[in-house]
Structure 1
Amino acid sequence: MEIKLKKDKDYIYAKIDDTHTTEILMPNTVDNNDSEESIIIEALKNPINSEPLNKIAKKGEKIVIITSDITRPMKSKLVLPYIVQELKKANVDQSDITIVLALGSHRKHTEEEKMQLVGEEVYKTIKIVDSSMDDCKNFGTCKNGTPVDIFTPVAQADRIICLGNVEYHYFAGYSGGAKAIMPGVSSYAAIQANHSNMVKDGSYAGNIDTNPVRQDIDEVGKHIKIDFILNVLQSSDKKIVGAFAGHYIDAHRAACRALDLMYKVNIKEKADVVIVSPGGYPKDINIYQAQKALDNARHAVKDGGTIILCASCKEGFENDIFEKWMMTKTKEQMVKEIRENFVLGGHKAAAIAMTLMKSEIYMVTDYDKSTIEHIGFKYFDNLQDAVDSALYKSGRKSRVIIMPAGGSTLPNYVG
């Protein structure tokens, strides 16, 4: 059997002998042949538990549109013109609109990247800014103790519109909704406090109702008014196949239910070897982002098995603290320390450490070999060698699970 997986912007290939049992976990078939544009328009015409955006915004109001940064697959370039069009229907002047790129704790964009994200026309006509963790206004504290610190231009706006892509998140349950604000445009202290809930029960992919991380995220809307959201769902080939607009909770939950129908895949038996790709660029731009697919693969591998992570990660670690933890601590130290004292950046390292305590990780990557091996992974520069090595270790008649869209596919073990 030949397999094909995305790494960066290209495909890599390997063959698996037919003596092994092979299962490909793909998202469920989506029967939506509508164009992306028509899906977006229909969602804006029929918002959930909300008036249409063109009835909410008013002339003279300062409008902030929050959308994702370059590490996220959100198609802002496609969606933003329709949001701007709705605001024009409300007679909002373009000079009163600011688009905020939600960095969270990520690096700032170049001007070229900003134009790439929002499109040339929007870039030339509307103010585009990166959020900053160092320029925030406090609105109180969540019940879990998380400060509600919001980027000042967002805090001062008359109307807040949040855009996002909904997919599984390894401890927030799902992306999207008010996550554009918390942690998207929050302070370092707020992000750190919110993420510290990841060690609590209920903080795992696909869980929302009892998830303490998501509880923080949604509670932000009680401190600062989120006027409207538009969340989209994408197929594994990154086509928008669903859009949900309106109330920041109700529209988001509708998107989550639709996501489950697409991407939650039941498995009756775990695998000796799991081969996973985050889905290519930008989901494999660095190790920090690729970890999400690694965590999803963890749900499908047997204890003592092997995960083969196919991810370019040409930009390295992304986060200095994450890099320091990965380079200087043992996996046992990382798990112990994150439980005793949550450190933002260290949380990703601890999550990887928990996976390493369960399984061996092979990595097919464009990043430096010595670094990859230093952090406890086994380095490969081509997929076939990694597959051959993993199957030699597991023996004849191994069970193999392949996850070509690992960042979006959630294995659900049903026994």
Structure 2
Amino acid sequence: MEREEIWLPYGKDKIRIEIPLQNLLGVYYPKTIVAEVDENYILQQALENPIGSPRLREIVRCGQKVAIVTSDLTRPTPSDKMLPFVISELEAAGIPDEDVFIVFALGIHRPMSEEEMKKAISPQIYQRFRAINHDLNDVVTLGVTQRGTVVEIFRPLVEADVRICLGNIEFHYFAGFSGGAKAILPGCASRETIYANHRWLVSPEASAMRIKGNPVREDLEEGVAMLGVDFILNVIVDSQHRIVAAFAGDVIEAHRAGCQVVMERGAIDISQRGDIVIASPGGYPKDINLLQSNKALQSAKDFVRDKGIIILVAECAEGFGNAVLEQWMKEIPTAEETIQKIREKFVQGGHIAAAIAMIEQRASIYCVSSFEDSTVRQIRWRPFSTVQAAVDHAFEVLGKDAKVIVLPEATSIFAKVSG
């Protein structure tokens, strides 16, 4: 029997599996945007040709305090590659280093250590500029959105004269897409503001690929407009963490241009859903914890048939990534009770457990990770030490003719089902 050899990202490594060709419906990757990647050229072109905005060097003025917001270690934003181009623009405008500081947008994630900061932005940039973690508790109230979200933003950002946001754009299962204004809210907001915004994710309109009418995206962009973002630089990265596209300029217009490319790159036309779907978030940092790896499940759910099996291949070296998520998944005995609980009262972290529970109602979840087997069983999933063992067992359950779909970069694609 002929078999297809497939490699799946797992943490900072890769895992090999073999699938019989007669069972394989497809191995789906995002489309290639550029044949040859020249990251420096891509970044330079974006900054020289901003969308909906003058060049950055034309926006900033001497004497202004400039804040650069970038992602924490849970995001694949290549800050070390992007920052030199932004800094070059600031230098061209005559801005001295002491008037520039870098903020790591944590949201509700843990603070980054000094060593992690150095690695994220490079030791050279870390030595030149002040770099700080966002602080949930040091905030300024700016107003209230139409949906009732009290907008509280990190004080140093409010006090800055110019705000520049870096980020990466990919699908986001309830904010439509990552990137753009999300660097500020939830990235640099108070816990209460983040919770108030995220409570809208239970809306059917809060979904991947949707911006217009998406209450989460509209609410956060309304909140960020109270602060103001002067310039963004957002990128799309491939599985090797190379920059394959960049978008600079206005926080809305440049972001939307990037979202369009993400859509074109990630849309996968399928005529048949798989009985078995094997999904990797794409390796580190996308599988750093279950909070992030959940995004692969959200993509996989649209590729799998009802009562099928999803095999999640995610290292989760830092565990669940959220204490409430862990508590809900471990302590609530059924998917139905989890969903009912979030409907009764929105709880940050619990919303992820509920999103996963909705998938459990449609498909079984097998898991290949660094979690203890007992932990995986406690959250109602089935643990396996190898992907191949999980695949073989799935065939035993669903039959030797079961059809398989493999998603090595699940967070970067979405299914368009025809027929």
Instruction: Give 2:409's match in structure 1, choosing from 394, 402, 405.
Output: 405
Instruction: Give 1:363's match in structure 2, choosing from 363, 367, 386.
Output: 367
2:284 aligned with 1:281: yes
1:138 and 1:373 map into 2 onto residues whose CA distance is 43
Instruction: Give 2:95's match in structure 1, choosing from 70, 89, 92.
Output: 92
Q: Match of 1:340, as an amino acid?
A: E
Instruction: Give 1:158's match in structure 2, choosing from 161, 165, 180.
Output: 161
The answer for the alignment partner of 1:125 in structure 2 is 128
Instruction: Give 1:182's match in structure 2, choosing from 169, 185, 191.
Output: 185
For residue 30 of structure 1, report the CA deviation from its aligned partner: 1.9
2:153 and 2:364 map into 1 onto residues whose CA distance is 40
2:73 aligned with 1:78: no
For residue 34 of structure 1, report the CA deviation from its aligned partner: 4.4
Normalised by the length of structure 2, the TM-score is: 0.97
The answer for the alignment partner of 2:137 in structure 1 is 134
Partner SS, residue 411 of structure 2: coil
For residue 132 of structure 1, report the CA deviation from its aligned partner: 1.2
Partner SS, residue 282 of structure 1: coil
Normalised by the length of structure 1, the TM-score is: 0.98
For residue 314 of structure 1, report the CA deviation from its aligned partner: 1.6
1:17 and 1:265 map into 2 onto residues whose CA distance is 22
Kept in 2: contact 1:139–1:149 (CA 8 A): yes
> What stretches of structure 2 of length at least 5 have no aligned partner?
none
1:37 and 1:300 map into 2 onto residues whose CA distance is 35
Kept in 2: contact 1:71–1:283 (CA 8 A): yes
Partner SS, residue 410 of structure 2: coil
Instruction: Give 2:386's match in structure 1, choosing from 382, 392, 409.
Output: 382
Structural RMSD (CA) = 1.0
- How many corresponding residue pairs? 415
Kept in 1: contact 2:37–2:243 (CA 8 A): no
Instruction: Give 1:242's match in structure 2, choosing from 236, 240, 245.
Output: 245
Q: Match of 2:228, as an amino acid?
A: K
The answer for the alignment partner of 1:340 in structure 2 is 344
Kept in 2: contact 1:322–1:348 (CA 8 A): yes
Instruction: Give 2:398's match in structure 1, choosing from 383, 394, 398.
Output: 394
Instruction: Give 1:7's match in structure 2, choosing from 10, 17, 20.
Output: 10
The answer for the alignment partner of 2:59 in structure 1 is 56
The answer for the alignment partner of 2:118 in structure 1 is 115
2:134 and 2:120 map into 1 onto residues whose CA distance is 15
Question: Where has structure 1 moved over 6 Å in runs of 4 or more?
Answer: none
> What stretches of structure 1 of length at least 5 have no aligned partner?
none
Instruction: Give 1:323's match in structure 2, choosing from 321, 326, 330.
Output: 326
Q: Match of 1:404, as an amino acid?
A: P
Q: Match of 2:165, as an amino acid?
A: C
Cα offsets for 1:348-396 (capped at 9, x unmatched): 1111111111100000111211111100110011111000001111113
Identity of aligned residues (%): 43
